[in-house]
A = this chain, B = another copy of it.
């Protein structure tokens, strides 16, 4: 019997979840729930309804796991604790500093309602966090390094677009190769913010705008750009539309550490992702963890979980025997 998946929202992440369901034979999409008028939302999966979020209660008992595809800024801080009253839920809440608060709220409601929730799933937080945890446990004495990119930072792109004279803009965060190499060498370098990442901006200026002023405003912007080496490239609207709509992203997690009676041996653990589509990859992680949620709910192991709490075998459609024979 297939695991019945519901999707709340229908942005890029939700579309990624919809596509990923096709790649998991043990899952089926029950419905997409939207705050918009359902008649205005067309999904790709044939014969699956779009339902107003106002009617979501009608699906209690018909959805095994509800995948919450809202944003971390305003949607998820409300939605996850709210919908876990009705469904087992999973989200990709990625405001690292607010995870403990989010966890506490969601855990309380999950336990009260005999549901399973899994928060902050994806790749960072998510697979990167797992790499950090495993590597820290193996090498208790060492250093952690995380690099992001090359990929678009939404917050920095928004900041560019607020600069007077800017019609459109995208900002790419790029890891610095020399810093990656220094970390890989095992030399445990201390790296400043500026040494780790550069910021590359593509800007469409309004006609007659002062480009030098735009550049100066961007590169000197505190918090966002002033601590980085920032490059501003002015391009045409056509080039912007043709070359800067992609959603590629990725990054690197390292832990370097020492072992031995006299700490004489160095080790380098490196994990990296190179993703053509950030939302589709995140969606694929969410679906793998939805399988685990389904199984935990089946065992009545209720409450709020994170990727740290989930035994890896629970993610796989294969049996323990198959995993030991083929993947161990």
Contacts and interface: CB of A to CB of B under 8 A. Distances in A.
Interface in A299-319: 306-313, 315-316
A323 B132 CA distance: 10
**Counting chain B CB atoms within 10 Å of each CB, which of A120, A270, A324 scores highest?**
A324
A23 interface: yes
A318 B16 CA distance: 34
A190 B96 CA distance: 40
B16 A259 contact: yes
Tally of this chain's copies: 2
B100 A140 contact: no
A141 B24 CA distance: 9
Contact of A312 (B125, B134, B260, B273): B134
A130 interface: yes
Interface size of A as a range: 35 or more
B306 A23 contact: no
A245 to B, nearest CB: 13
A165 interface: no
B19 A260 contact: yes
B134 A328 contact: no
Contact of A267 (B271, B274, B321): B274
Contacts of A18: 261
Interface stretch (A152-160, A221-229, A281-289): A281-289
Interface string A126-163: 01011111101111110000000000000000000000
A186 interface: yes
Contacts of A127: 134, 138, 269
A259 B281 contact: yes
Contacts of A261: 15, 18-19, 22, 44
Interface string A1-37: 0000000000000011011101110000000000000
A202 interface: no
B288 A308 contact: no
Contacts of A129: 327-328
A277 interface: yes
B266 A273 contact: no
B265 A328 contact: no
A280 B265 contact: yes
Contacts of A311: 308-311
Interface of A: 15-16, 18-20, 22-24, 44, 96, 99-100, 103, 120, 125, 127, 129-134, 136-141, 184, 186, 259-261, 264-277, 280-281, 283-285, 288, 291, 306-313, 315-316, 320-321, 323-325, 327-328
5 contacts: A23-B259, A44-B261, A99-B325, A129-B327, A139-B284
A-B complex: 9 closest residue pairs judged by Cβ atoms: A265-B276, A137-B315, A137-B288, A308-B313, A259-B280, A265-B277, A268-B274, A19-B261, A129-B328
Given A99-B325, A267-B274, 11 more contacts: A22-B261, A103-B324, A132-B327, A134-B315, A136-B316, A138-B285, A186-B274, A259-B277, A260-B280, A268-B272, A270-B274
